[in-house]
Structure 1
Amino acid sequence: MSENVHRLLVAWEALGNPDRWFRPEGYHQGLTLCIIDAIQSTGSHYNSVRKVVGRYREYRGDAAITDGTTELLATFDALGGVEPWAREIGNQRPASTRKGAALKAAVIQQVARNLHDDGVRTTGDLQVRGALEPNNEALRLATKKLWTGVEAQSSGVTWHYALMLAGLPGVKADRMVLRFVSRALNGVEVSPEYAASLVRDAAKLMGVSATDLDHAIWRKESGRPVSVDPEDEQQPVLEESDGREAGNR
């Protein structure tokens, strides 16, 4: 065990009993909601993300839960393009702080189109393409490029988050996770990639899902309760999505 992983394990004792952690459920049946949530999360408060997801669900009704890229792209056509979609469903926010940046709605449409045209149309397709398996590396990287090649997505933060929302274990090394890891390492600044690797290694040693540990850290750093009240007899709450803000990379 590396010294840094050991320090993280000590820090994570403050997160309490993993059996009682709140756990994100994600959108394991709907690629559309994975795409919308992940891309809307950058630089946004979680309530803003929930509102956009909620408007899409209201627009599509019960079908929203299983919508894939075919259905998502059809909503852009039905509403008349990116700007009407942003007014009706999105929030007309730009994808970055760069002057003239495209709307997040435009990024959502382009990511959906890239994935769709390459045959990634459901969460099942994304799970196959995004799996961390040695014999799948080339396909995974090629699929990742379809996402990260779109404006303001090059860091890969939203890509990894979408995989988590689709049900694949992973770590979204946003500013909350970076802050927690840095503090555990006595203030040493770390890259998102290294922070994510430390979280994954620690999760293995703890015998918990990397996604669950990532979510517990986020809740701790954002001032939310990490665990269900010990006096509450209910099981840990499954949250539809953590609606996290990715921050500006």
Structure 2
Amino acid sequence: MTAAASDLDRLLVAIAKIPTPWKEWPGGYPTRLDLALIDAVMSIRFRYGRERSDGSWTGARGAVLRYQKHSEHVSHSEKMSYLAGQDPVALERVLNRQKVHAGKTKASAIVEAAQRLVGIGVTEPGDLQPDNAEHRKQYIGVSGLGPITWEYLTMLLHSDGVKADTWITRFVQQALQKLVSNEEAGALVKEAAQKLEVTEKSLDHAIWSYASTGGLKINPR
């Protein structure tokens, strides 16, 4: 479905106000499905993080790096199976104790998602197919996980896309001066990327970086 020209034009005007050069997409984990999964889930309602003076990181990035060190003794072919076999309570101590909702920790959601993917033979980045309905069903079948972080997971591996989270959606809403859903915001950003002849990831990150560091007049709750 093509967005109304007026909506696209308004978004393009807002995008043109983002300082250049844009902050570059930091890259994902094209060889590590386990780390991509952890990043996708830990990113839910959580800051990306910043590097401390000692080289460690805060936020979601910090959690991923701590797990990477925690699992460095595991062979590459066993990484996903190792994650699927983690005790969620013990994994909390490596990551943190955040929750995806009141009744479920992010650690338990990560372990369940890993178990579901391993159960259908998805153990390597190349195994995960963004358009595979069964792969998507297994991921979003975990309570607390949904289509936004599913798309982000595929972006962290090998696919182009837009993670239409709160910052992206609020940026689009402010540009259009009206409310739109996450899905509508994501679709419009993809359309803008095509118009600008840039990757969806690069535009996603430019908008997110701008919006999350004060570019919006009204901060999302």
- TM-score, with structure 2 as normaliser: 0.84
For residues 44-99 of structure 1, the C-alpha deviation after alignment (integer angstroms, 9 at most, x for no partner) is 2222212211211221238698874223224x1xxxx2111212x12122221x3x
More RCO (CA 8 Å, sep 6+): 1
Of 60, 66, 79, the match for 1:55: 66
Distance 1:43 1:66, change over 3 A: farther
After the TM superposition, which residues 1-249 of structure 1 pair with which residues of structure 2 at under 5 Å, given as runs? 2-17=5-20, 21-47=23-49, 48-61=59-72, 68-74=79-85, 76=86, 81-87=87-93, 89-96=94-101, 98=102, 101-126=103-128, 129-131=129-131, 140-153=132-145, 155-186=146-177, 188-223=178-213
Aligned residue for 1:91, secondary structure, equals coil
- TM-score, with structure 1 as normaliser: 0.75
Q: Tell me which residue corresponds to 2:54.
A: none
Q: 5+ residue gaps in structure 1? A: 132-139, 226-246
Q: Over aligned residue pairs, what C-alpha RMSD do you find?
A: 2.3
Pairwise CA distance, 1:34: 0.7
Distance 1:64 1:114, change over 3 A: same
Distance 1:52 1:67, change over 3 A: farther
Aligned residue for 1:107, secondary structure, equals helix
2:67 maps to amino acid = Y
Distance 1:209 1:55, change over 3 A: same
2:9 maps to amino acid = H
Q: How many correspondences in the alignment?
A: 205
Pairwise CA distance, 1:6: 1.2
Q: 5+ residue gaps in structure 2? A: 50-58
Q: 1:195, 1:95 → 2: CA distance?
A: 22
For residues 147-197 of structure 1, the C-alpha deviation after alignment (integer angstroms, 9 at most, x for no partner) is 1110111x31211111111121001111110111011102x0100111111
Distance 1:45 1:67, change over 3 A: farther
Tell me if the contact between 2:23 and 2:209 (Cα under 8 Å) persists in the aligned partners: no
